[in-house]
Chains A and B, each alone.
Chain A
Amino acid sequence: MSERTNGLPNAPSGIAERPGAAARTPQQTQERVAKSLRRRYWAERRFQIYGMLAVFFGIVFVVFLFATIFIKGASTFRQSYVKLEVFYDPAIIDPAGTRKPEDIRNADYQAIIRAALKDRFPQVEGRKNVRDLGRLVSGGAAFDLRDRVMSTGGLIGQRETQWVLASDDVDLFMKGKIPRATADEGGPLSTQQFEWITALEKADALELRFNKTFFTHGDSREPEQAGVWGAVMGSLFTLVLTLALSFPIGVAAAIYLEEFAHKNRWTDLIEVNINNLAAVPSIVFGLLGLAVFIGFFGLPRSAPLVGALVLTLLTLPTIIIASRAALKGVPPSIREAALGMGASKIQMVAHHVLPLAMPGMLTGTIIGMARALGETAPLLMIGMVAFIVDVPKGFTDPATVLPVQVFLWSDSPERAFVERTSGAIIVLLAFLVVMNATAVVLRNRFERRW
């Protein structure tokens, strides 16, 4: 290193190595240094500015990323609804008058909405126009009406005012994402439809309200009916099982390695193994899950059960490493005191070391779970990418998880899904923030310094 220190002042090598140069007086040296100082201070400034720029760039990116996603996604939480005077026509719902649930379920509720729209705009005529008018309202509105009739008795034959789901194009217009000018260019909404929309708006019969559908429904091909609830439940089932498997196993492995194992080649191997597993690409765990859990053991595809098994293997190294660090943090005097009082080794660990190390272990586990919640690639391998409308009810039901839902929606061609995708990302980030904040609070409140 020493031969590269020419930039340093008074470096003996820099002067002595020049054979031709006459010996300098200290004064000359001082002058030389003084001359170079400007350049060196300037280099110092430059270097510091590079560092600042790097930090600044990172901060700007974080802000920019969050801003883009929030700007794109904030509108998801509001959704356009159309106010309609609905007449639950017995002739449509239950022409036979049987009032049997299956007849009511299978009735043509679309016709009721068509009739209600026709009432609103009596002047509309012609097959095409009526169809265009019907397109203002989402196809899902009929199902909502059906559910309402099924759950509330005695509605048949009644009239009531209902806010029904508007279609995705109307919704995009309401959020200012489709300008009116697009009608002439063959945009999604025609001039006539814009007229109806204006009429509805004037009558206060079309407005943006809180988007309940987004938080209560599963996936759908229609953006306005699509929700994250199915994915949230899928993530919940997967994570609960992951936690139930990885926490005990991870803690047990950490205890063995830290408190019981003798230092030998075998435990070295386990250690190296765990450190390497922590850095194996997650998609490889997906391949393992596909080949072993699905291919060999024949577990169902797309199920939270398999997802949890894969994520358990994925998060175990994180949890083991964190738990070992927590165990290392407990001072040996505690162990010696317990052993001195006649406790066995297991009693010492279970009664004294483990409770003291628990906050650290929990922090590590929560961070591992947060990582598992954001994990997408291995779950694609085990088929959790299927299009699933129903909200999963158990560990073996086909399900998807939040990040995979984001992936699925980001692939959809409909424009309205861009907004849903950002909305789902916001939900995902909200969960992650809560988990990480819990970990931080846990660490700050319970971690003991010895």
Chain B
Amino acid sequence: MTPAALLVVLVGLTLVAYAVGKQRALAVVGGIRGIRNLHSLPSYYGALTALWCAVPALIVLALWLAFQDSIIISVVTKHLPADVQRLPPAELGLALNDVRNVVAGNVSMEAARPEIRAAAAEYLQLRSTARLALTALVIALGLIAMVIVRSRISAPFRARNAVERMVEWALIGSSLIAVLTTVGIIASVAFEAMRFFSKVPWYEFLFGLQWSPQTAIRADQVGSSGAFGAVPLFWGTMMISGIAMLIAVPIGLFSAIYLAEYAHRKFRAWTKPFLEILAGIPTVVYGFFAALTVGPALRTWGEALGLNVASESALAAGLVMGIMIVPFVSSLADDMITAVPQSLRDGAYALGATKSETIKQVVVRAALPGIVGGVLLAISRAIGETMIVVMAAGLAANLTANPFEAVTTVTVQIVTLLVGDQEFDSPKTLAAFALGLVLFLVTLGLNVLALHIVKKYREQYE
């Protein structure tokens, strides 16, 4: 039975279990008349039976499916001819891919080489055996659980408490997924990064000035030894983020101040959502805009002024990224400004300060920690932003301070290293994970710091 069909059967079995449990509960107290003798409502007995029927079977099903393929492949690999097994891992992987393709029906049996054909046949045979075993196991588990729970149902049996305990465990499990995600990110990215650092020393990665990740595909190739000094990438990231912040902070801050302190209520009600549209536009749209409108425009203007502007200049990417971050800065600043108590403003007015003096010298200063926190969050967003720089910034790792030249960033390199087919073992692929680790740690640090500052600030005026 295919897994999908098995799932349908299991759903059916669960429904049966519900009915069985409910009927049994009613039966032990002698029908609907004796219902007040039951500890819980009959539906709870049904639900308990159904849960016990479904949950263990589902867990077994999920685990089995998660590991079935790798186990079968390892068995198949062992039975491959010796000369195939001795191939280097990359080529062995290709052979196994051929097997998978034949199995999936992408390549017809006849078209494949004989050893692949044999392996595919073995794979198919093992899989059908595995499926048979899985079907038997899952259905047996469901039935056994159903029978056991049914036999335990009695009038004082506390079915509701049992069901609720299970529900509560499910709730806890759901909230753990967030933690598991973090653990997963750290474990997977750090693991691959460690593999990278075993090939390229970490100090060379962090402090090297040369970035050219093209490694030789064949051993006898020349001129592409691969250099993994990431400083040009860090520099490019900082430069583009810096340009972005130069745009985003003044515009975001001033528009927040204007809308919070000066604008008429009606004007604010219309303008604020309008500006927040900027936050909802997918970054790929900004990237398209930066690459096809802003980049060429800057190039033309630069030529008119006698400047040599690269068509993928840092400036174009930074400008558009800055605009993308504006609503982010302004909404955080707005929160912070409106959180400043009115009494502080009134105090300043009472001393004869004008409105702008009050804002500059009282409101903004009182809100400063919160604003700084917001700016830090915005910086972490700028550093992690991918699509704008992939589409509008360059690929060449230049170490330059000229914003009209092309620079590259960490995220651009991650994308270029990982898009397309790669072997999982080359330093080129692994370098992307090392970059990802740096990116994750830096943004995490910024976020923790920013959230801490913002939280402290909020508490101050609550």
Contact = CB atoms under 8 A, between A and B. Distances in A.
Interface stretch (A119-127, A210-218, A236-244, A277-285): A277-285
18 contacts: A33-B352, A44-B354, A51-B257, A249-B174, A253-B174, A256-B168, A261-B175, A270-B178, A274-B178, A281-B384, A282-B384, A283-B439, A287-B185, A287-B414, A313-B181, A377-B411, A380-B415, A410-B288
Most buried by A among B173, B182, B360: B182
Contacts of A257: 175
A364 to B, nearest CB: 14
Nearest to B273: A440
Contact of B292 (A281, A285, A410): A410
B282 A432 contact: yes
B282 A288 contact: no
A38 to B, nearest CB: 12
Interface string B417-439: 01100001000000011001001
Contact of A376 (B172, B177, B282, B384): B282
B214 interface: no
Contacts of A52: 258
B170 A252 contact: yes
Interface string B63-106: 00010011000000000000000000000000000000000000
B182 A273 contact: yes
A40 interface: yes
Contacts of B168: 256, 260, 346
Contact of B384 (A5, A280, A320, A410): A280
Contacts of B176: 270
Interface string B154-197: 00000010001001101111111111011011001101100000
Most buried by B among A47, A370, A406: A47
B338 to A, nearest CB: 15
Contacts of B292: 410, 418
Interface string A31-59: 00100000011011011101111110111
Contacts of B419: 380-381, 383, 385
A54 B284 contact: no
A139 interface: no
Interface in B429-452: 432-433, 436, 439-440, 443-444, 447-448, 451
Interface of A is mostly: helix
Given A253-B177, A261-B175, 11 more contacts: A53-B254, A59-B271, A62-B275, A62-B278, A256-B171, A270-B178, A276-B451, A287-B418, A377-B386, A425-B285, A429-B285
A62 B356 contact: no
B251 A57 contact: yes
Interface stretch (B12-20, B30-38, B375-383): B375-383
B16 to A, nearest CB: 24
A254 to B, nearest CB: 8
Contacts, number: 275
A326 to B, nearest CB: 16
Contacts of B352: 8-10, 33
Interface of B: 66, 69-70, 160, 164, 167-168, 170-179, 181-182, 184-185, 188-189, 191-192, 250-255, 257-259, 262-263, 271, 274-275, 277-278, 280-285, 287-289, 291-293, 323, 326-327, 348, 351-357, 359-362, 365, 377, 380-381, 383-387, 390-391, 411, 414-415, 418-419, 424, 432-433, 436, 439-440, 443-444, 447-448, 451
Interface in A327-347: 344-346
Contacts of B284: 374, 376, 403-404, 406-407, 410
A1 interface: yes
B278 A376 contact: no
A5 B439 CA distance: 42
Contact of B444 (A53, A255, A280): A280
Interface of A: 1, 4-5, 7-11, 33, 40-41, 43-44, 46-48, 50-55, 57-59, 61-62, 65, 68-69, 248-250, 252-253, 255-257, 260-261, 269-270, 272-277, 279-285, 287-288, 290-292, 295-298, 313, 316-317, 320, 344-346, 370, 373-377, 380-381, 383, 385, 403-404, 406-407, 410, 418, 421-422, 425, 428-429, 432, 436
Closest 7 CB pairs of A and B: A281-B384, A51-B258, A374-B282, A54-B254, A252-B174, A291-B188, A47-B356
Contacts of B383: 281
A375 B384 CA distance: 13
A285 B451 CA distance: 21
B418 A290 contact: yes
Given A51-B262, A58-B278, A252-B170, A287 B164 contact: no
A285 B383 CA distance: 15
B179 A273 contact: yes
B214 to A, nearest CB: 20
A418 B291 CA distance: 11
A277 B258 contact: no
A288 B189 contact: yes
Contact of B361 (A5, A40, A298, A406): A5
Contacts of B253: 54
A421 B289 CA distance: 11
A252 B171 contact: yes
B361 A4 contact: yes
Contacts of B172: 256, 260
A403 B391 CA distance: 13
Contacts of A429: 281, 285
B323 A436 contact: no
Contacts of A256: 168, 171-172, 174-175
A54 B357 contact: no
A383 B414 CA distance: 13
Nearest to A62: B277
B289 A65 contact: yes
Given A279-B377, A280-B443, A377 B415 contact: yes
Most buried by B among A52, A275, A284, A313: A284
Contacts of A274: 178
B254 A44 contact: no
Given A61-B278, A288-B188, A346 B433 contact: no
